[in-house]
Amino acid sequence: MQLFSKDAFAFREQLQNLKKVQSICLCGLFVAAYVALSFFSIKMTEFLEFRFAFLALAAAAAYGGPVMGMAAGLTGDVISFFAAPQTGPFFPGFTISYALLGFLFGMILYRSRITPLRAFAAGLAEFIIACTLNTLWLHFMYGMEWEYLFTIRLIKNVVSLGVNTVLLFVFMKAFSRIILTVSPTLKASRQ
C-alpha cells in the first residue's frame, strides 16, 4: 500500500480548485466545523484530554487535499482561538502545527481508500506533531523543563494515538461515503 496518493502531490491543481466558489464554501464549512468541535473535549485527568476538532481538519484534507487541509488548519486555529475563551495567550506556533497537520492529513487521506493502516498513519502524524512541535511551543510559552513536558505529553499522546486512530478510521469511513455520493467523479481516483 502506498502511503501518499499520487493526487496528493498535485498542489497546483488543488490550489486552482480552492479558488472555486464551491471549494471556498466547503472549506469555510470545514473551518466552521473545526471551530465548533474545538469547544468540545472530554477531560479524563489533569493531563489527559480528548479533543475532536482534528476530525474536521481530516475531512477538509480528505476532500480538498493538502492545500485545503493546510488552509483549514491555519484558519480554524486562529478563529477558534478568538471564538473560545482561552487559558493562555495566542501563540502562532500552534497555528503552524495545525496548518502542518492539515497538510499531512491531506497527503495521507486525499483521494485514498480509508484503511486502518492509513488511519493509523494520520493518527501518527498528529501524535508526532503533538509530541514535538506542540511540546516545543509550550516550552517557549511557559518556560517549563523540556524533558518534563515531553514525558507528560508523550504518555498522554500515546493514549490519544489509539483513540484518535479509531476515531479517524470510523469518521473517515463514513465521510468517504459522503464524498463519493456528492462527487462520483472521485470514485475512479480512489486507490
Q: How far is CA 73 from CA 78, 110, 158, 170, 185, in A?
A: 9, 15, 22, 21, 26
Which set of grid coordinates corresponds to residue 108?
495521507
pLDDT at 147 over 50: yes
Q: What number of other Cβ atoms are within 10 A of residue 30's Cβ?
A: 27
* Domains of the chain in sequence order: 6-189 (1.10.1760.20)
pLDDT-derived band at 184 (thresholds 50, 70, 90) equals low
pLDDT at 159 over 60: yes
Which set of grid coordinates corresponds to residue 107?
497527503
3-state secondary structure of 36: helix
31, 69 contact by CB (below 8 A): no
pLDDT at 136 over 70: yes
Q: What number of other Cβ atoms are within 10 A of residue 48's Cβ?
A: 15
Give 82-133 pLDDT, tens digit per residue.
Answer: 887 766 788 999 999 999 999 999 999 998 999 999 999 999 999 999 999 9
Give 6-28 pLDDT, tens digit per residue.
Answer: 888 888 999 999 999 999 999 99
